[in-house]
Amino acid sequence: MHALDKTDLAILKVLARDGRITKAALADAVGLSPTPCWNRLKRLEKAGVIAGYGARFDLRKLGPSVTVFVACELADHTAATFRIFEDAVGRYDEVVNCWALGGGFDYLCQVVTTDIDAYQRLIDAMLDARIGLARYFTYIVTKPVKGGGVPPLGLIAGEDSSS
């Protein structure tokens, strides 16, 4: 855990909304001069608080696509089976996110592919690969409602909301 002050949190909030902001504009947005702001930014990157930068895409503008969430249940719950599944999932480009879960399912995977047929071919390949997948439940995204949200950074970092 990394102790963050209000200025660090302000930097993170601005970057979460606009990762391409210039250093000067970032400094202005958080009320610092450029050098101290740059030093804080480098410290946050070095500490791993900022894990990377990237772009969000509107897949509808790129071509046909479907996003599917897949709740996965493994055949057994040994450490070896979890490792096999996790290693295998990393090799499928269509699996863009995967989370291990506590509760009824073992994993939740987000899959993006061209259409339902391509999704089913992926699932068939995963089943044929014997990666420990016993059952899966498919949830097709019909429309995006909210995305690219900024996590409640102050809450997570323990910032006192009364101040």
Q: Which fold has domain 59-140?
A: Alpha-Beta Plaits (3.30.70)
Residue 69 pairs in a beta bridge with 110, 139
Pick the CATH number of 6-55 from 1.10.10.10, 3.30.930.10, 1.10.260.40, 3.40.50.300: 1.10.10.10
Residue 71 pairs in a beta bridge with 108, 137
Angle, helix 23-30 to helix 6-17, in steps of 10 degrees: 130
pLDDT average, residue stretch 17-28? 94
pLDDT average, residue stretch 76-90? 96
Q: What is the largest CA-CA distance in the chain?
A: 57
0.85 cut: is pTM over it?
A: no
pLDDT average, residue stretch 23-34? 96
pLDDT digits (tens, 9 = 90+) for 116-129: 999 999 999 999 99
Domains 6-55 and 59-140 share a fold: no
Among 3-12, 15-24, 38-47, 52-61, name the one with the lowest average pLDDT.
52-61
